[in-house]
Amino acid sequence: MYWRHSGNTVFTKAHLGCALALSVLVASLPQDASAQTLNEGFAAMEQGDFFTAFSALRRLEQAGDPLAGELLERVFLTPRSVAVPERPASVGDYARPAAPDAARAAQQGAQSEAAPVPVALRPAARPAPEPDAASSLPLPPHPLPQPLREADFRSPDPALVRIGQLLFFDPILSGNKDTSCATCHHPRHASGDGVSLGIGTGALGLGPDRTALGEHAATQRIPRNAPALWNLGAREIRVLFHDGRLEVDPAHPGRLLSHQGPLDYMALDSLVAAQALFPMLSPEEMSGQPGENPIADAVAEARVHGDDGAWALIAARVDAIPDYRAAFEAWRGAARPVAIDEIANAIAAFIETEFRADETPFDLYLREIAALSPEAGEGMWLFYGRANCASCHSGPLLSDQGFHAMGQPPLGPGKERDSAGYTRDLGRGAVTLAPEDAYRFRTPMLRNVLHTGPWGHAGAFSDLRDFLRHHLDPVAGLAAYEPQAVLPELDAETDDYAALESAAQRAEIARAAARDMAQRPLVTLEEDEIGLLIAFLEALSDEGALAGRMGVPEVVPSGLEVAN
């Protein structure tokens, strides 16, 4: 459903059919107060005022009227059925079983009793019967999420946020004092760095203009694309990093699981605070190489915890700066050395405040404040309907926080080497060591997604249309991939696309994608439909958040250069 305010309505044939269906249903109701409200809603719809009609039904639904909820889904939230053109099968049509299992068959049978399964839900290889009058109101495959509310986010202490802003932009946290959190997560680049694989310590500049220079000039790229920071302050988030190596312990929700072992000795406020600690330990991101500085040496010797560990050395650096020590003492109301968990909590407080995005056109639509454009509305229908995007990008944050193998092309230095010597990145599989998790990566959230490219865990796609086409058929997409990464210049012998030359590795990635895609219907979209999806993704942009709240400080307490 998309709507505009009365007097400026686009009334389509689909809406006309919905209005006729609503009139039939209303006519069969007893004339009580609910029926009167429904009649008022129908009258508004006849006038093209979908906002009033939608709001009337929503009020009844919230009051507990089950019929109103059914009408909302059938009339307003139901994607239209669109015939799916047949296509040649590829890679065994993802080795999809010839018949669904018993549970799925029973579910589809039960669904057929209530309303025929829409063409949009059938795999493309199956012949689609001609729609009839009874199938004009199919149930939507994915419901719209609840709107994001204030209670869904943490509320950081403003004083801690101000300290965090300074630390976020201060290179003092890096081993060679040349890289800050903002180097890879800058407001100018929508909380990323605007490149496929960035360069951390040992370079100058931002984004595509960053150049390896200096005494300790970088020789290797960061192995993965810098993830966007939008809405990390949401209470619902339980896993972070592309491979999920930092997560809330499912068995003990008050504990965190990390690749550095238990962090129980720290007083961390959130999962985001824990996440802020780990780039400081990465030789390519912030710590540097052994022999360059004491922090890098500690990391190389696996000294992370304890009084002589890398985190303690970083905290001592911050504590030695009078302005930081005074700011923390004023915030906590006590005089003691600055601790690493306090630094992490401050950075997290800033991230959660500065990079919150919940005032997008889609969010306003879910709150019934403003309408979506016709193009965005059509794209939303596809997203939650036939395109099946919401099978993974679900819930208020538009992510199931799960892991999926989407056949992303291997790019850059990877996280390890395969048996043939090619670099590779097993993603979740390297964390769980489960073969079925190989090449699976976390589902990203989508607020401001149009601004956070290049896309993919290695940033292999700089063209969003190509990225969406790849998602429709990852196996075919991997085979057809043409290099399009955005990479800052780096004087290194390594070929960024070397892993693509490994037929064995491409076959592994394709098999993983085929296995995951076998669980969902294969979808075909026309070019104009991809354009509609992009229109919906544009409706996920929060222009106020992109413009910045606190912004970039002119100076930081260390006196080091601020990247702006």
**Per-residue pLDDT for 50 more than 60?**
no
pLDDT at 392: 96
pLDDT at 2: 43
Q: Are strands 211-212 and 203-204 parallel, antiparallel or unpaired?
A: antiparallel
Surface-to-core class of residue 148, CB atoms within 10 Å of its CB (0-12 exposed, 13-18 middle, 19+ buried): buried
DSSP track, 57-103: HHHHHHTT-HHHHHHIIIIISPPPP-PPPP----HHHHH--SS--HH
Which residues are registered as beta bridge partners of 528?
Answer: none
Mean pLDDT computed over 46-75: 65
Domains of the chain: 13-76 (no CATH), 91-136 (no CATH), 152-357 (1.10.760.10), 361-545 (1.10.760.10)
Other Cβ atoms less than 10 A from the Cβ of 362: the count is 28
pLDDT at 380: 96
**Per-residue pLDDT for 518 more than 80?**
yes
Instruction: From 243, 321, 236, 249, select the one nearest 278 (Cα to Cα).
Output: 243
DSSP state of 119: G
Residue 253 contacts residue 263 (beta carbons within 8 Å): no
**Per-residue pLDDT for 330 more than 90?**
yes
Residue 166 contacts residue 557 (beta carbons within 8 Å): yes
Residue 510 contacts residue 95 (beta carbons within 8 Å): no
Residue 193 contacts residue 187 (beta carbons within 8 Å): no
pLDDT at 470: 97
- Encode burial over 439-464: b for 16+ CB neighbours within 10 A, e otherwise: bbbbbbbbbbbbbbbbbbbbbbbbeb
**Per-residue pLDDT for 88 more than 50?**
no
**Per-residue pLDDT for 345 more than 60?**
yes
Residue 563 — pLDDT band, cuts 50, 70, 90?
Answer: confident
pLDDT at 49: 56
Per-residue pLDDT tens for 425-435? 999 999 999 99
Percent of the residues in the chain that have a pLDDT greater than 70, as a whole number = 76
pLDDT at 66: 73
Write the secondary structure of 154-179 as one string of H (helix), E (strand) and C (coil): CCCCHHHHHHHHHHHCCHHHCCCCCC
- 473: which residues sit within 8 A by CB, 6+ positions away? 90, 522
- 322: which residues sit within 8 A by CB, 6+ positions away? 557
What are residue 499's phi and psi, to 5 degrees? -65, -25
Write out the E strands in 233-328. 239-240, 246-248, 256-257
Mean pLDDT computed over 60-76: 67
What own/partner pairs with CB < 8 Å and gap ≥ 24 does 432-440 have? 436/515, 437/403, 438/405, 438/508, 438/512, 439/405, 439/407, 439/408, 439/508, 439/509, 439/512, 439/513, 440/403, 440/404, 440/405, 440/512, 440/516
Cα→Cα distances 88→93, 97, 140, 522, Å: 9, 17, 27, 11
pLDDT at 44: 62
Mean pLDDT computed over 169-186: 98
The region of weakest confidence among 35-44, 352-361, 423-432, 516-525 is: 35-44
**Per-residue pLDDT for 85 more than 80?**
no
pLDDT at 549: 96
Cα radius of gyration (the chain): 26
Q: Listing from the earlier edge strand, what are the strands of the sheet with 246-248?
A: 239-240, 246-248, 256-257
Average pLDDT in the chain = 83
- Rounded Cα gap, residues 517 and 350, in angstroms: 38
Per-residue pLDDT tens for 196-245? 999 999 999 999 999 999 899 999 999 999 999 999 999 999 999 999 99
**Per-residue pLDDT for 248 more than 90?**
yes
**Per-residue pLDDT for 173 more than 80?**
yes
Per-residue pLDDT tens for 282-315? 999 999 999 999 999 999 999 999 999 999 999 9
Which residues are registered as beta bridge partners of 239?
Answer: 247
